[in-house]
Amino acid sequence: MRLRGPMPRALGLREAGVYYALLLLLLALAAVCAALGRPSYLSAVNLINIVYQASPVALMGVAMTVVLITGNFDLSVASVAALAAAVQILTVDAVGFWPALLLSLAAAGAVGLLNGLMVQLVGINAFIVTLGTMTAIRGLVLIVTGGQSLMVQTPAALNVMTNFESGRAGPLPYPILYMAGFTLIVWLVLQFTTVGRRIYAVGGNAEAARLCGISVPVYRIGAFVLSALAAGFAGVLYASRFGAMNPTALQGEELTVIAAAILGGTSLFGGAGSVLKTVAGALVLYTLTNGFNVLDLGANYQGLIEGTVLIAAAAIYTIGGRRTSHALRAGPTGSATGEPGPLPGAKTRREEDLPIIRGE
């Protein structure tokens, strides 16, 4: 007898595959380290270090997930992070840490707003727009820095920046707390608020969302701004970690951010995604990186294995999606001749839309 209900589905590969992958990866690396006589891979110090290293990418990935849910994507996040890092270091000596942080976020948010306006109001494809801003912003960073590395000059400013990034609450470094807090807020908004339902509706069917009275441009532009602000904050963390930055900082990191979201099962076509699974996807990538470092394996193998893991994850989600679609078409009796009627007590689509309409 086949089990039905939310629990079996929640434990399936499509819903929980990234968590299984992370668990199996940790156990495999722990077994290899034990067999080679290395220190315990599952020690608290090493696990905290993995999450710490993954925090900036996970933070950007959470915001990227929102962009992907709305049906767009953002290639400019790494360049925006580098711009924010440059603004932070260039201004912190003169104005202090917190004003410099606000200036960095303002610069990042302006890029996100530009991306959103160009995509949503002008109608240019998001790939073209964000590819252009990625290149242009990276060029701007080169101009601003003169192609040279930047360093904080004032010891007082450097101390504040170091404490902001390297401080700890008990055993946990602050970046883990920043990432966890941001993820929790976004998850709560997506799961339990009208704003979250509208974000999913915009990505699932923009025209239907518009007919329900949802301002599609506002939500899509807002997603770009959120993505840029998260990237700007990650850039500030990067600058604070080292007290310096070079013009090529974080180059290529946008692909890691998108890969984390894809590993978490976020759809590139919009309307589906989970920020919690995106964080898990980022942890998978950084667990692989950490494992290569611990085992002293060459970087040549790292790209091959990470790429293989990404393709395998995409294949699992694609196959799982096809099976789910077939099951929904077949209905409760297993017949694929038509759609089943609503279950007792289930809301119709019109009833589901009413809270959105009333919210306007």
Determine, yes or no, domain membership for 345: no
Domain count of the fold of the chain: 1
Q: Per-residue pLDDT tens for 62-82?
A: 999 999 999 998 999 999 999
Q: Is residue 18 situated within a structural domain?
A: yes
CA 185 to chain centre: 14
Q: Which domain holds residue 22?
A: 12-331
| Each residue's pLDDT tens digit, 244-294 | 888 888 888 898 999 999 888 888 888 888 999 999 999 999 998 888 888
Mean pLDDT of all residues belonging to the chain? 84
Give the model's pLDDT for residue 315. Answer: 72
User: Three-state DSSP class for 245?
Assistant: strand
For residue 157, being part of any structural domain is answered with yes
pLDDT value, residue 16: 75
**Closest-CA residue to 78 (of 227, 269, 181):** 227
The answer to whether position 1 is within a domain reads no
Please name which of 237, 208, 266 lies closest in space to residue 62, comparing C-alpha atoms: 266
Residue 272, Cβ density class (10 Å: 0-12 exposed, 13-18 middle, ≥19 buried):
middle
User: Contacts for 152-157 with beta carbons within 8 Å, 24 or more apart?
Assistant: 152/89, 152/92, 152/93, 152/243, 152/244, 153/93, 154/92, 154/93, 157/92, 157/93, 157/96, 157/97
Q: How far apart are CA 321 and CA 317, in angstroms?
A: 6
Give the chain's residues under pLDDT 70: 1-14, 298-300, 302, 316-360
Residue 61 covered by a domain = yes
Whole-prediction pTM value? 0.85
- How many whole angstroms separate alpha carbon 253 and alpha carbon 233? 14
Whether 337 is in a domain gets the answer: no
CA 287/CA 29 separation, integer angstroms: 9
pLDDT given for residue 249 in this prediction = 86
Q: Check which CATH number belongs to the domain holding 295 and give it.
A: 1.10.3470
Q: Which of 102, 111, 230, 253 is nearest to 175 (CA)?
A: 230
- Is residue 340 in a domain? no
Q: Assess if residue 90 is contained within a domain.
A: yes
Q: What is the pLDDT of residue 357?
A: 35
